[in-house]
Amino acid sequence: MLQRRIPFLALALVFCVAAAEDFDWTKNEKSSFHYGTFPTGFSWGAGSSAYQTEGAWNLDGKGMSIWDAFAHKKGKISSNETGDSSCEGYYKFKDDINLMKDMKLNHYRFSISWPRILPSGLRSEHMNEKGIKYYNDLISLLLDNKITPIVTLYHWDLPQMLQDKYGGWLNASMINHFNDFANLCFERFGNRVKYWITFNNPWSIAVEGYETGEHAPGLKLKGTGAYKVAHHMIKAHAKVWHTYDMKWRSKQKGLVGISLTADWGEPVDVSNQRDIEAAQRYIQFYMGWFAGPLFHGDYPQVMKDYIGRKSGQQGLGASRLPVFLPEEKSYVKGTCDFLGLGHFTTRYVTQRNYPSGLGDNYFTDRDLAELVDPKWPDPGSEWLYSVPWGFRRFLNFVKSQYGNPMIYVTENGVSEKMLCTDLCDDWRMTYFKEYINEMLKAVKDGVNVKGYTAWSLLDSFEWDEGYTERFGLYYVDFRNKNKPRYPKASVQYFKRIISSNGFPNQREVESWKRKAVETCSSSNQLLAADPLIGHMEMVTEIVVPTVCTLCILLSAVFFMFLLRRRL
Ligand code: NOJ
């Protein structure tokens, strides 16, 4: 079967290479800082996701998600942390909207927890009105404050029941269940929500959830699971888009997109064709895996070639990469009203030449090596190097490959090192300044970017890393059960970018950091006093009632003793 497709493959390869020529891999122009502003109406926002911030994991009728189950297993998350209470966002959303208002955000990106509104995952079984009310209140309050909600339907927290009963995304029935859930969201929230994102970062769901097992549901189905799961998510996305298109669009007039996250892959040597091809594979196996079907109706040719060839060498009768039937190709193609992009970092890429017999998996399939420049700043998470020029390259690549789609940057930001409590986050201000500036250059290049979402509004549960990596503009004191928020200096810096809609002129921009740092020392003092406040709370909430109870008991005993003596 594979052999019969070879002439086709060769033809398609020629076509694909021709299409990719639009993007000039050899031209990496690293220009100096660009002073200027974004087009009027450019939307500024910050983001979060349900499991990472809400807490209230088993309250008000919420069902269990795969992340609740995964985090409760020993050894899966750094220090066995969980998102059980996290930032208590479920209770503190009013405070959080005040923070957004203060920053003058135009939009807020958050996700809906599927098991909070459908505890078993199935609409036919039980709808949790308390959960629906929570999102209704959140959405309405955002709108009252002129903040546009951008809502993600799936930020990784599948109802555990669907995992137990059907094997989660490995099962094609998930397409219908997800569609039912999405349809319910359109029905109950769609009069107010106009921007819908079906999936957040499906790459991570597939590779980290079903290939390496670092994320929930923790499966290690090397070389098969991720491809199967991705195939179902692509179809589920398309189905939800069609549902919206047929049932809701004319009434609600909203848009349905997806959020794909990818690092940029730069050839180690741009004059070496093999390095260029390795970089192409890197990006095609990352975002092309999902963007290809949604924009062109099929997987990137290079994925079909590489996985097909490896499957053949393994003696399999068919490729491990599933195949779209002709009618499925036309069904999935053109189902993105806008493209959400998450982007954090860059890698240099070169060919790897994995020896055969190592076991086939996603990584040996794409057959490349990732390198980093030791000079790149590495302020936070181990994987996150600050390489601003990669962002412009990435955006231009997307423009060239997918017909210049409408783009919303749905995630971009940087974390800080473990246990760092310095609120004067100079490195984050630099990161935002430089990355947003490269985005501005991309807009000048003609890339159709409509909005930018800083990741994230708050420090939150960073998946398998627990609370050790803080991405927030606001510091959250997780030691205190009230989870107070403290602004980092970058809040002030981001506010300046928002109010200027970019970078007006050198003199002004150069004063921003200094001004931001002036405010953070007082926040630092407040945070330093927090254990004291926590201690005082403990005194009032635990020690005082205990001492009082003891006094009452002792007095009672004493009183009885006196009485007995009198008798
Ligand atoms: C992408 C994920 O969507 C988000 O949940 C996570 O916090 C960031 N990456 C940072 O790792």
538 and 446 co-located in one domain: no
Helix axes 489-500, 506-538, angle to 10 degrees: 140
> Would you say residue 558 has pLDDT above 80?
no
Ligand 1 centroid vs 48 CA: distance in angstroms? 9
Range of the domain at 130: 2-528
Contacts with 491 (C-beta within 8 Å, 6 or more apart), sequence order: 103, 473, 474, 516
Classified as helix, coil or strand, 3 is helix
Give the mean model confidence (pLDDT) for residues 182-189.
98
545 pLDDT band, cuts 50/70/90, is low
* Residues forming a β-bridge with 474: 458, 487
Kindly give the number of the ligand 1 atom that is closest to the alpha carbon of 342.
Answer: 1
pLDDT one-digit tens code per residue, 499-509: 999 999 999 99
pTM of the model: 0.91
268 and 387 co-located in one domain: yes
Give the total residue count for the chain: 567
pLDDT of residue 553: 81
- Cα–Cα distance between 190 and 67 in angstroms, integer? 27
Kindly give the number of the ligand 1 atom that is closest to the alpha carbon of 200.
Answer: 3
Burial of 378 (0-12, 13-18, 19+ CB in 10 A): middle
Give the mean model confidence (pLDDT) for residues 543-557.
73
**More confident: 254 or 535:** 254
Number of domains in the chain: 2
pLDDT of residue 114: 98
pLDDT of residue 532: 60
393 pLDDT band, cuts 50/70/90, is very high
153 and 265 co-located in one domain: yes
Contacts with 551 (C-beta within 8 Å, 6 or more apart), sequence order: none
Which residue of 381, 383, 456, 463 sits with most ligand 1 atoms within 8 Å of its CB, as the best mutation to test the pocket?
Answer: 463
Ligand 1 centroid vs 26 CA: distance in angstroms? 30
Ligand 1 centroid vs 455 CA: distance in angstroms? 8
Tokens of 373: 């420049």
Q: Is 261 in the pocket of ligand 1 (CB under 6 A)?
A: yes
* Residues forming a β-bridge with 350: 369
pLDDT of residue 259: 98
Residue 56's φ and ψ, nearest 5 degrees, are: 45, 50
pLDDT of residue 13: 39
Q: Is 53 in the pocket of ligand 1 (CB under 6 A)?
A: no
Out of 134-148, 333-347, 549-563, least confident range: 549-563
End-to-end CA distance of the chain: 103
26 and 140 co-located in one domain: yes
471 and 544 co-located in one domain: no
Distances (CA, A) of 42 to 38, 109, 133, 155, 295: 6, 15, 30, 25, 24
Kindly give the number of the ligand 1 atom that is closest to the alpha carbon of 384.
Answer: 11
pLDDT one-digit tens code per residue, 266-281: 999 999 999 999 999 9
pLDDT of residue 566: 66
Kindly give the number of the ligand 1 atom that is closest to the alpha carbon of 460.
Answer: 7
Give the mean model confidence (pLDDT) for residues 331-345.
98
Q: CA-CA-CA-CA torsion for 245, 249, 255, 258, nearest 10 degrees?
A: -30
The CATH number of whichever domain residue 277 belongs to comes to 3.20.20.80
447 and 563 co-located in one domain: no
- Cα–Cα distance between 235 and 391 in angstroms, integer? 28
- Cα–Cα distance between 567 and 565 in angstroms, integer? 5
432 in Cβ contact with 454 (< 8 Å): yes
Kindly give the number of the ligand 1 atom that is closest to the alpha carbon of 52.
Answer: 5
113 and 141 co-located in one domain: yes
- Cα–Cα distance between 63 and 70 in angstroms, integer? 14
pLDDT one-digit tens code per residue, 447-490: 999 999 999 999 999 999 999 999 999 999 999 999 999 999 99
460 in Cβ contact with 476 (< 8 Å): yes
- Cα–Cα distance between 289 and 295 in angstroms, integer? 11
520 and 534 co-located in one domain: no
Q: Is 469 in the pocket of ligand 1 (CB under 6 A)?
A: no
440 and 547 co-located in one domain: no
Q: Is 152 in the pocket of ligand 1 (CB under 6 A)?
A: no
16 pLDDT band, cuts 50/70/90, is very low
479 and 554 co-located in one domain: no
pLDDT of residue 528: 82
* CA 250 to chain CA mean position, Å: 29
Question: Given its phi and psi angles, is residue 367 left (phi above 0), alpha (psi -120 to 50 degrees) or beta?
Answer: left
> Would you say residue 9 has pLDDT above 80?
no
**More confident: 540 or 13:** 540
pLDDT of residue 539: 56
pLDDT of residue 293: 98
- Cα–Cα distance between 123 and 120 in angstroms, integer? 8
pLDDT of residue 300: 98
pLDDT of residue 564: 78
421 in Cβ contact with 475 (< 8 Å): yes
Ligand 1 centroid vs 341 CA: distance in angstroms? 12
Out of 17-21, 55-59, 524-528, least confident range: 17-21
Give the mean model confidence (pLDDT) for residues 23-29.
89
pLDDT one-digit tens code per residue, 158-176: 999 999 999 999 999 999 9
Atom 11 (ligand 1): residue with closest C-alpha? 462
29 in Cβ contact with 80 (< 8 Å): no
Tokens of 71: 């985090």
Burial of 338 (0-12, 13-18, 19+ CB in 10 A): buried
% the chain with pLDDT above 90: 83
**How does DSSP classify residue 58?**
T
- Cα–Cα distance between 396 and 117 in angstroms, integer? 39
pLDDT of residue 359: 81
Atom 7 (ligand 1): residue with closest C-alpha? 462
433 and 453 co-located in one domain: yes
Q: Is 201 in the pocket of ligand 1 (CB under 6 A)?
A: yes
pLDDT of residue 501: 98
Contacts with 180 (C-beta within 8 Å, 6 or more apart), sequence order: 122, 123, 124
Amino acid, res. 335: T
- Cα–Cα distance between 469 and 459 in angstroms, integer? 8
Other beta carbons within 10 Å of 211: 22
Q: Is 466 in the pocket of ligand 1 (CB under 6 A)?
A: no
- Cα–Cα distance between 4 and 10 in angstroms, integer? 12
* Residues forming a β-bridge with 56: none
pLDDT one-digit tens code per residue, 89-144: 999 999 999 999 999 999 999 999 999 999 999 999 999 999 999 999 999 999 99
Q: In 29-150, which residue ranges form alpha helices assigned H by DSSP?
A: 50-53, 66-71, 89-103, 114-117, 129-144
351 and 443 co-located in one domain: yes
> Would you say residue 256 has pLDDT above 60?
yes
Amino acid, res. 536: M
pLDDT of residue 522: 78
Ligand 1 centroid vs 362 CA: distance in angstroms? 21
Amino acid, res. 4: R
93 in Cβ contact with 138 (< 8 Å): yes
